Amino acid sequence: MSVLLAVPIIAPLLGAATSIGLGKSRRAQRLVGMSVLGLVLVDSAFLVWRVDTSGVLVAHAGRWRAPVGIAFVADRLSAVVLLTSALTLLAVLAFAIGEPGTEDRHVGFHPTYLILTAGVSFALLPGDLFNLFVAFEVMLMASYVLLTMGGRADQVRSGMTYVVVSLVASSLFLLALALIYAATGTVNMADLSEKIADLPPGLGRGLAVLLVVVFGIKAAVFPLFFWLPDSYPTAAAPVTAVFAGLLTKIGVYAILRTQTVVFTGDLRPGGLLLVVAAFTMVVGVLGAVAQTDMRRLLSFHIVSQIGYMIMGIGLFSVAGIAGTILFVVHQIVVKASLFLVAGLIQVRAATDRLDRLGGLAGVESVVAALFALAALSLAGVPPLSGFVGKLALVQAGAEGGAWMVVAVSLAVSLLTLFSMSKIWSAAFWGEPSEPLAPRASRVSDRRWYLMLAATAALVAASLVVSLAAGPLHRYSTRAAADLLDGSDYVGAVLR
């Protein structure tokens, strides 16, 4: 069964190497990319079933046992995030194949995309903090190439900001690793869960806060979010979609993993996380309301929605963490689908500035329907997936007595709906400032329908989340109970 843990990492790396060798044939590169991601998706689905029915799955590299050796670990949390990530990566790659101007012009797109896939999978499966650091560096290298692919001045400038901020986070991560190893003699998370408790409380809490800062930069929480709205909108639509859907959520995943498995009891900075969550929600949504560029507006909403996830973690209850897991699954597919819709609009109208758009509902009704479903879900309108996730978080907050952050989350939902209606009225209603050119002048029917199908697949996935809300919430509850208890995880890794 350990092969299930190897496939999501090894297959994309082998696929990247193969894709480099096939650089002269874009069709062959596409076949390799789609096949590898299809394999990762199937493997991830089987992994979800395996860990839910049989418990935590562990693979020891080179048969060296933890904590000395390197362990790869899958539990309910990592398996469901891996499955959602694989689905999103596959759909976005299909969109990229259809979209003119990115994948078809750059021989390095497919290898780099597959390396990013390997980095995402790697970040979800390591059993120790050092390999989590390595995974983040793999994602950083691949994401920088994708972010600047095209070579425009604004892309390079934004890419440099992204890299500098990421390197600062990496330096802090290395500092945290050094301090943790000096204090405990290990960086294995299962082993740390037993040794951190023996440290002086002040030191333990300090290490917990330091890791929150490190992963908070990756997740773009307040006040560490400043780099995101300037970096993401300059990239190509599929690149922005995969970044929006996945990369910040990996930061949230790292916060959730470390603050539950490694730290226990009074060492967990619950109050700090609730304050950060409230400010992240408010600042993100106010930034979104002020924007007139669609992708920049959606980028601020990435920040705002991260606040909901941090809120659930900060409660440190089974209900709160279950709500976070459910909300992460919803957000990955919905945020990616919204940025793909923005990509469709960019291709169709040659702009995504709201003051230059109008009347799209009359000429592209399918695009309008896809946006409406994703936007209403983002705002938390029942019975869509966003409502399910937010309801779980609000209920958990009420049960935990965190009334202030609950009130903030409800107010932010209303402002989110307002900003989504702003896009709808500007882009889909009214009349365009200039007549739209025929679609065939911008993209062939085959490419257009491929992009539509990829976007529709993600929107459909968000509908599945709402339809299967009961089973998914029960699964998330089991995952949350495992995280807060930790005995199964620790026992599986160290036994």
Buried b / exposed e along 204-230 (16+ C-beta atoms within 10 A): bbbbbbbbbebbbbbbbbbebbebbbe
pLDDT the model gives residue 135: 94
Q: Output DSSP code: residue 435.
A: P
pLDDT the model gives residue 47: 95
CA–CA separation, 104 vs 27, rounded Å?
10
Strand partners, 128: 188
DSSP string, 312-369: HHHHTSHHHHHHHHHHHHHHHHHHHHHHHHHHHHHHHHS--BGGG---HHHH-HHHHH
For residue range 412-465, list pLDDT tens digits in order. Answer: 999 999 999 988 888 888 776 666 666 655 778 888 899 999 999 999 999 999
Angle between helical axes of 109-124 and 248-257 (0-180°, round to 10):
20
* Whether residue 231 has pLDDT greater than 90: no
Select the more confidently predicted residue: 229 or 117.
117
For residue range 98-151, list pLDDT tens digits in order. Answer: 888 777 778 889 999 999 999 999 999 999 999 999 999 999 889 888 888 766
pLDDT the model gives residue 90: 96
For residue range 449-458, list pLDDT tens digits in order. Answer: 999 999 999 9
Q: How far lies 414's CA from each of 20, 126, 272, 407, 411, in Å?
A: 47, 38, 25, 11, 5
Please provide the average confidence, as pLDDT, over all residues in the chain.
90
pLDDT the model gives residue 434: 67
Comparing CA positions, the residue from 156, 181, 190, 185 lying closest to residue 56 is 190
Q: Output DSSP code: residue 276.
A: H
Summarize the confidence of residues 348-377 as an average pLDDT.
Answer: 85
For residue 3, the tally of other CB atoms under 10 A from its CB is: 9
For residue range 15-63, list pLDDT tens digits in order. Answer: 999 999 998 888 999 999 999 999 999 999 999 999 999 989 998 887 7
pLDDT the model gives residue 151: 62
pTM of the model: 0.94
pLDDT the model gives residue 99: 87
CA–CA separation, 54 vs 43, rounded Å?
16
Q: Please state the domain extents for the chain.
A: 3-494
pLDDT the model gives residue 437: 67
Q: Output DSSP code: residue 376.
A: H
* Whether residue 168 has pLDDT greater than 60: yes
Check if the beta carbon of residue 28 is closer than 8 Å to that of residue 97.
no
Comparing CA positions, the residue from 304, 278, 324, 287 lying closest to residue 484 is 324
φ, ψ for residue 377, nearest 5 deg? -65, -45
Q: Cis peptide leading into 67, omega within 30 of 0?
A: yes
Comparing CA positions, the residue from 193, 217, 191, 215 lying closest to residue 204 is 193
pLDDT the model gives residue 114: 96
